[in-house]
A and B are shown apart, each in its own frame.
Chain A
Amino acid sequence: MGEFRMPSLGADMDEGTLVEWRVSVGDHVDRGDIVASVETDKSVIDVEVFETGTIQELLVEPGTRVAVGTALARIGDAAAEDEPSEPDVPAHTEPPEPAAPPEPVTSTPPAGSTPDAAPGEPIAPPVTPPTEAPAPAHPHVVVGEGPVRRHASLMRSPLVRHLAEQLHVDPDRLRGTGPGGRITRHDVEHAAATTRRASPRARRRGIELGIDVDDLTGTGVDGAVCERDVVAAASAAEPAAPAPAPSQAADGMRAAIARTMERSNREIPHYHLSATVDLNPLTEWLAEINAERPPAERILPAAAIMRACALAAAKVTDLNGEWRDGAAVTSKQVHLGVLVSLRSGGLIVPVIRDAHERSVEEMMTALTDVVERSRRGSLRSSELSGATITLSNLGDRGVDEVLGVIPPPQLAIVGVGKIAARPMVVDGAVVARDSAVFTLGADHRASDGRTGSRFLRQIESLLANPTRL
């Protein structure tokens, strides 16, 4: 009935590596279920399927790097038409097709047209057709044959799963030796005894530097492998060359960010505006409510700022959407991209959907959650696409002004500088007030400065009355 194709997990993403299948042939899947883990330059992402049906065939083997748009699996109706395996159909000969509804873009179209595209749908692939996918060694992989790993939860009993947790064994890395590839207690124990634990940062650095972290001796907590172990191993491997500084090492993430920045500067004529916003009302209000709350319930200014941005974007819609085929496609629904810095360097931009509908408290919960999962590398594919506007790093420490670069194909990016006490004039006198400089970078094809300043003024007036946010 349909083909599940490699989605684009970022504006600059052209290809990804299928790390593992999370389903098997014959499994029923609902729209939104995780079917595969895909590794991009930035992270390993849990990829969701956008059709409900039954997995008929898995077309690509784990470990294969495939271009965006490559068919990965065939999904049929539950009452499957029995299609016998077709002869080799290498995915790259087919033009990329959107999976179901005609609109492949995840951001919701303007009111009046078709209802929301499903969260998991890919952004339309870039104009140039995807590069040829490497022909998989076995185009059709059927369960029971070949090295495909199965959906972990089918394979492990609760006891085995619990043991894996206790021994800090990553179940996704296990290969089962039991009947039908089942993961046994022995497999878990063996893995615990022989596999090195490594921090996510170490693993990422390992990918960048071409070091297998499982081969290393760790100097971190409980013998875990940390980043410095990886860097040390990389420099030990090349005694003649100076140890590569982490920022210079062949770096997938850096390259991906570079591509996005290049594309943005090349394609989007930016204009920038800025406004200094009095945040005293906000910081006073937060101090009051946070005084009564334990740390886990406290609200950061960031949450209120996100709320204000989302509301402003829902109102000034010329800044909320995408540039597509020569025109702005805007919406009243706000899916807010939030820049998160990763500790190893680099950025990732998870998307908080329907941000305009979330209260400040809900925003705080969502923010805490995506930041944690961004750093852990466990974001879902639906969280990496579909932003209608982006909020840049809530640079609470660094600089006064953040002049952002719009992630294509969006129409705007909001920057917020450091919140600090600054002299402001109130009733003719100079007083110290908390403030921050808000900036807007916007696509001049889609809006003019007048619209941009309306947007910033909206934010300003929303934040002047934080209790009404």
Chain B
Amino acid sequence: MADDAMELLRLALRRVAPEVDLDDVDHDADLLDELDLDSMDFLTLVGELHQRSGVEIPEADYAQMGSVSAVVGYLQSRQG
């Protein structure tokens, strides 16, 4: 299940940061810093995740997505 969420993130990330290899980054570091994302990138990422998984991801939940691990955890807990 965690693998699915990680895979989902991996795929979604290809749209905004195609050169990033998730295996090469610190999963607990700040997401935006670690993946070099700005607010536009982050919004696009959220859009990809939403489209691919159906998970809602309202703005209010952004605070729960502060790292790769956090995003994976968030997606896991909300997927069917």
Residues of A near any B CB (own CB < 8 A): 199, 201-202, 220-221, 226-228, 287, 290-291, 294-296, 298, 300-302, 341, 343, 367-368, 371, 394, 396-397
Contact = CB atoms under 8 A, between A and B. Distances in A.
Interface stretch (B1-9, B30-38, B63-71): B30-38
A368 B40 contact: yes
Nearest to B10: A221
A296 B39 CA distance: 13
Contact of B43 (A228, A295, A394): A295
B50 A294 contact: yes
B19 A291 contact: no
A295 B59 CA distance: 8
B25 interface: no
A270 B75 CA distance: 49
B57 to A, nearest CB: 7
Interface size for chain B: under 10, 10 to 19, 20 to 34, or 35 or more residues?
20 to 34
Contact of A343 (B19, B40, B57): B19
Interface string B15-46: 00111000000000000110010111001101
A343 B60 contact: no
B19 A201 contact: yes
Contacts of B60: 287, 291
B58 interface: yes
Given A295-B50, A367-B40, A397 B33 contact: yes
Given A220-B18, A221-B18, A228-B19, 5 more contacts: A201-B18, A226-B18, A291-B59, A295-B50, A295-B57
> Which 5 residue pairs of A and B lie closest in terms of their CB atoms, listed nearest first?
A295-B47, A396-B39, A295-B46, A290-B59, A295-B50
7 contacts: A294-B50, A295-B50, A298-B43, A298-B59, A343-B36, A394-B39, A397-B33
Interface string B46-58: 1100110000011
B14 interface: yes
B17 to A, nearest CB: 7
B17 A343 contact: yes
Contacts of B33: 397
A221 B18 CA distance: 9
A199 B19 contact: yes
Contacts of B58: 291
A216 B43 CA distance: 33
Contacts of A367: 40
A201 B18 CA distance: 9
Contacts of A396: 38-39
A12 to B, nearest CB: 24
B11 to A, nearest CB: 10
| B14, B32, B58, B60 interface centre (most CB from chain A within 10 Å) | B58
B44 to A, nearest CB: 8
Nearest to B37: A397
A226 B21 CA distance: 10
Contacts of A343: 17, 19, 36
Nearest to A205: B19
Contact of A300 (B19, B36, B43): B43
A203 B43 CA distance: 26
Given A295-B50, A397-B32, A371 B57 contact: no
Contacts of A199: 18-19
A178 B31 CA distance: 50
Contacts of A301: 39
B59 to A, nearest CB: 5
A349 to B, nearest CB: 15
Contact of A371 (B36, B40, B51): B40
B73 to A, nearest CB: 19
B39 A287 contact: no
Contacts of A221: 14, 18
B59 A287 contact: yes
B40 A296 contact: no
A371 B14 CA distance: 16
